């Protein structure tokens, strides 16, 4: 084909765009895998020291929300530099630390380790299913993300309310809803990278990590309630 022809220019431009999108997706998946290391480390330290278990429910929620939003603000400010990777990994360590309270409770069951592995396997299955679906869905999902965002805000508000209400039924309802909402968010977030709507792999990793974290946490909650066994 003639390199000076308009057709060649269009094809070359399209190839460059496709290559960029694939590069962002690869970098996102690589950083996502790396982010699991500090998450596990934070969770292990939290369980071993009991640092989060010693906090009351109200204080734990305040630390979690304050720390999470502070980290996300910092990630947004540094996402275009190498420092953004370090801040993101610091955030995932913090999230692992905050997860240790629930992990310690589940490990109190005789089958606790099995429940954690089941929750991990279930989350992995959801992620791979949504990531695969994102490659075959052709329609624009940006409108869906708006409804999901509203659902996530309602979940957050209801979760804060339940700190004071302490309703087991509401907690279970929120866990089921969170699995549905954040599974759909995985699809939307991966699709956005594939379509070129997200070109920063640090921002993309943050979004997908939060989806995975919430699905795992909710699955673990349900498994602990319905599958936990005492000695």
DSSP 47-77: HHH-TTTTS-HHHHHHHHHHHHHHHHHHHHH
Tell me the two tokens of residue 75.
Answer: 């990630």
Does residue 41 sit within a domain?
yes
Tally of domains within the chain: 1
Does residue 10 sit within a domain?
no
Does residue 39 sit within a domain?
yes
Tell me the two tokens of residue 157.
Answer: 């508000």
Residue 5: in which H helix or E strand, if any? none
Does residue 147 sit within a domain?
yes
* Per-residue tens of pLDDT for the chain, all 231 residues: 555 555 544 444 556 778 888 899 999 999 999 999 999 999 999 999 888 777 766 777 788 888 999 999 999 999 999 899 999 999 999 999 999 999 999 999 989 999 999 999 999 999 999 999 999 988 878 788 888 989 999 998 898 888 788 888 888 999 999 999 999 999 999 999 999 888 999 999 999 999 999 999 999 999 988 887 776
Does residue 8 sit within a domain?
no
pLDDT for 223 equals 93
Taken in order 205, 207, 208, 209, the sign of the CA dihedral is positive
Does residue 164 sit within a domain?
yes
Does residue 126 sit within a domain?
yes
Does residue 78 sit within a domain?
yes
pLDDT for 11 equals 46
**In whole angstroms, how large is the CA radius of gyration of the chain?**
20
Residue 82 belongs to what domain range?
25-225
**What is the pTM assigned to this prediction?**
0.88
Each as own residue / partner, the long-range contacts of residues 195-198 (CB below 8 Å, 24 or more positions apart, any chain) are 195/21, 195/140, 196/17, 196/20, 196/21, 197/142, 198/24
**For residue 139, which of 186, 196, 195, 198 has the smallest C-alpha distance?**
195
> How far from chain centre, in Å, is Cα 147?
18
Q: What is the DSSP letter of 109?
A: S
Q: Specify the residue for token string 């005789």.
A: 110
pLDDT for 10 equals 45
Q: With the CA atoms of 59, 69, 177 and 215 taken in that order, what torsion angle do they form, in degrees rounded to the nearest 10?
A: -100
């Amino acid at each position: 084909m003639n390199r000076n022809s308009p057709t060649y220019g269009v094809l070359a431009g399209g190839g460059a765009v496709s290559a960029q999108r694939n590069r962002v997706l690869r970098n996102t998946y690589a950083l996502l895998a790396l982010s699991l290391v500090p998450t596990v480390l934070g969770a292990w330290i939290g369980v071993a020291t009991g640092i989060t278990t010693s906090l009351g429910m109200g204080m734990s929620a305040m630390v979690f929300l304050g720390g999470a939003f502070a980290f996300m603000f910092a990630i947004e400010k540094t996402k275009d530099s190498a420092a953004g990777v370090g801040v993101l990994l610091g955030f995932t360590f913090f999230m692992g630390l905050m997860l240790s309270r629930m992990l310690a409770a589940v490990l109190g069951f005789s089958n606790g380790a099995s429940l954690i592995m089941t929750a991990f396997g279930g989350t992995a299955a959801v992620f791979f299913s949504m990531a695969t679906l994102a490659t075959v869905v052709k329609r624009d999902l940006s409108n869906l993300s708006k409804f999901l965002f509203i659902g996530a805000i309602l979940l957050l508000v209801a979760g804060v309310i339940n700190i004071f209400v302490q309703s087991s039924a509401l907690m279970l309802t929120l866990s089921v809803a969170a699995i549905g909402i954040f599974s759909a968010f995985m699809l939307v977030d991966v699709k956005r990278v594939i379509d070129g709507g997200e070109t920063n792999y640090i921002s993309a990793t943050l979004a997908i990590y939060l989806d995975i974290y919430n699905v795992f946490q909710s699955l673990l909650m349900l498994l602990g309630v319905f599958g936990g066994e005492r000695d």
